[in-house]
Structure 1
């Protein structure tokens, strides 16, 4: 009898470790399975609260990225919001639809003309410049993604020569000022603006003194000067001034006329080759009236007597046509696209 009781107690004692071992093996197997299929980490993160925080952050970021921009006044938008609006306008199926979107966002009036509203831009050297919209779906992006939705003018950002020497050789493409704008000029802008500017194609006489319209070629620019044609519209300066005195004067006009097309802001304000219209070309730098450069080289060397290179510019009073030697200092008014 005693031997039997002792035998039963011994049997119970050995079954408990066996059960624990089985449970342990099953637990290890479960952990292995969860690890292999990627389920374990989310469970641990949820238990520690990490997943909840990350999920909340992701949802907040996604909400900010996907939330629509609410219409407001031009000066109240952030540059990021204007960039998103520009992308929306660019994605419109046609120009009319794009202008309807621009009107919805208070960027143009009921006729599709930029409202002329300005916004202050404080440059890194503490200069106060002013940005305004001059065109909608006007420029072609250099990356092949179609039109840029919004084109703006920023005035004035600096005073600089077009070239270090009195030469127009190579036109805008080879100019010192173009190089300066791509580096020092860009660094003047606030970082949130720099980050949303897109490069566009600009047509310019990139030879200098020429009567050959084939001299007008394309450059890719992020910051650029306006051409005489983009500001003044159709040009006949040489035909008007020289008539038949110089043969082929119309060819020089055609070189200038091949440098893009007039922006809506300038045409709506009555700017022509002979008039500043409502006075929108009279601009200031740090409170003082200044001439300001166009990127258009003066294409004629009359009787080849003048070795200096000239570029066009607007006068201090806003008259649309004057010229300055390339090494002269004039105001820098830039265009850019979002």
Structure 2
């Protein structure tokens, strides 16, 4: 079946509707008006006015209008974001909306383990909790959390809070139109499809607006070049490298290829579960043979993939059609 070589085969953002200084001026004017009314009105009318005065005072003092929390001076988390995080914590993680997944991820990125959502997200990752969304072609894509504060944001501002991996979707593609891995993941046809082409276009617009661009490390020269260098690409959807899947890449016959250790580090969800670097792993077993972005170390025609029995060191010719399991970050 596979060519030769080594085993070759939404929430709404709210804003305060008044400026604090404006509210104070209005408060002073109200005091003056109430003083005049009390002089000329009876005690019943005056009492009612005093009640309304107290309500206005409470509004000014709390910095809210109509029960909506005012924005913090100079930026920072908004009341809407905080409310979304709290709503996510209060429900079963499997029921998180896309907006809740995004806000939870951003809260974890900002606060780390101090985030009130951290424990909930980690428990969901450890349990293999699955989420789902409908693609533009009508099929349902299932996915799960695979990393926490793992990937570097492309803009250099820190880490992406959560990394997700597709677990079931009928997406298939070749890596390249011809059998070559020259140029690696960076120049591959599949990467172009995942970051602006037909695979990216399968994703709903709400999802597209939430995905964070991250930096991925890959040998982008050729798999059989022992002097190959690991370089950086910026990706929205991406595939995993061998180093991100296994704890220590298989080196028995790869001593001349040090770059295989430098294509990232093992994702948190795989730790203690994916331990075999050149044989089957129960955690990775599936009905699919799915692409990695790592080039073959044996020749210049193939890329790595994971077999149905969870073995991470198989190679497939670049023009061979394999399952694609996109990963991404919020």
1:274 maps to which of 273, 278, 294: 278
C-alpha distance in structure 2 between counterparts of 1:194 and 1:275, whole Å: 36
Q: Deviations over 1:235-268 (max 9, x none)?
A: 124x2xx4xxxxxx3122x211110000111123
8 Å CA contact retained: 2:274, 2:283: no
8 Å CA contact retained: 2:219, 2:295: yes
1:296 maps to which of 294, 297, 315: 294
Shift of 1:280: 2.8
C-alpha distance in structure 2 between counterparts of 1:96 and 1:256, whole Å: 31
C-alpha distance in structure 1 between counterparts of 2:176 and 2:245, whole Å: 22
C-alpha distance in structure 1 between counterparts of 2:178 and 2:296, whole Å: 15
8 Å CA contact retained: 2:217, 2:264: yes
Structure 2 gap ranges (5+): 1-21, 27-64, 72-77
8 Å CA contact retained: 1:156, 1:332: no
Shift of 1:319: 2.0
2:215 maps to which of 201, 208, 211: 201
C-alpha distance in structure 2 between counterparts of 1:97 and 1:63, whole Å: 18
Counterpart in 1 of 2:318?
A: 326
Query: Alpha carbons of 1:113 and 1:56: their partners in 2 closer, same or farther (altered >3 Å)?
Result: closer
C-alpha distance in structure 1 between counterparts of 2:83 and 2:241, whole Å: 38
Aligned residue-pair number: 258
C-alpha distance in structure 2 between counterparts of 1:117 and 1:231, whole Å: 19
Q: Deviations over 1:78-108 (max 9, x none)?
A: 111111111111112xx5546x7410xx211
1:127 maps to which of 119, 123, 139: 139
Q: Does residue 223 of structure 1 match 2:237?
A: yes
Q: Does residue 191 of structure 1 match 2:194?
A: no
Structure 1 gap ranges (5+): 1-37, 43-54, 243-248, 284-288, 302-307
C-alpha distance in structure 1 between counterparts of 2:241 and 2:326, whole Å: 11
Shift of 1:134: 0.5
TM-score (norm 1): 0.69
TM-score (norm 2): 0.71
C-alpha distance in structure 2 between counterparts of 1:155 and 1:189, whole Å: 15
The structure with more radius of gyration: 1
Q: SS in structure 2 opposite 1:251?
A: coil
Shift of 1:120: 1.9
Q: Deviations over 1:185-241 (max 9, x none)?
A: 12212222221110000000000134446511010000000001111221124x2xx
8 Å CA contact retained: 1:227, 1:296: yes
